[in-house]
Amino acid sequence: MSEAAHMPWSIKGVSAEARKIAKAAAMAEGEPMGVWLSRLIDAAAAAKLGQPGALEGGALTVRPEAPAPAPAELRVDIETLTQRLTGVERRIRESLQPLDQALSHIAKRLEALEAPALPPPESRRPDD
C-alpha cells in the first residue's frame, strides 16, 4: 500500500451535520471514521456497478455487514462509559484539589496584604 493511502484527506462541501451523523454512525459500529467511511464508499461503488460486494484494491470482495448491537449490549456499553467518566471526573477533582488549596492560600495572603495595616505597636498609645 502506498504512503498516500495513509494520508488524511478532506472532502469539501460536507456539512457539519453530515459529519456529525457519520461520526455517530462510525462510533455506533465500533469503527474508526476512516474504516467506516471506506466501507460505505466501497459498498456504494459496488452497488452503483451492480456488484454485490465491495471494491478493495481493485478486486471485488464481499464484506459482511456488522450486526447492530443489541439493546442489552448498548446498556452495558453505556454503563461502562458512565463508570469510566465518573472515574475520570473523580481523578480530575482529586488532581485539582492541591491547586485549589494553593489558590485559596494565595487569596488569603493577598487579602492580608491589601487589608489596612494597624500602626506598629510602639506608636500606639495606651488608653487611660
Across the chain, which has 128 residues, the per-10-residue mean pLDDT values are: 58 81 85 83 78 48 60 84 93 93 94 77 60
On whether residue 120 sits in a domain, the answer given is no
Angle of the 16-28 helix axis to the 33-48 helix axis, nearest 10: 100
What is the predicted pLDDT for the residue at 102? 95
Confidence (pLDDT) at 1: 46
Q: What is the pLDDT of residue 9?
A: 66
- Give a yes or no: residue 127 inside a domain: no
How far, in Å, CA of 47 to CA of 41, rounded? Answer: 10
Q: Quick one: pLDDT at residue 59?
A: 41
**Given this model, what pLDDT does residue 36 score?**
84
Residue 96 belongs to a domain: yes
25 and 38 part of one domain: yes
User: Count of domains in the chain?
Assistant: 2
CA distance 98 to 111: 20
pLDDT at 99: 93
The reply to whether 18 and 32 lie within a common domain is: yes
Grid cell locating 35: 474504516
Question: What pLDDT score does 87 carry?
Answer: 93
Q: Is residue 29 part of a domain?
A: yes
pLDDT at 116: 77
Per-residue pLDDT at 92: 93
Q: For the stretch 96-113, what's the b/e string if a residue is b when 16 or more beta carbons lie within 10 angstroms of its beta carbon?
A: eeeeeeeeeeeeeeeeee
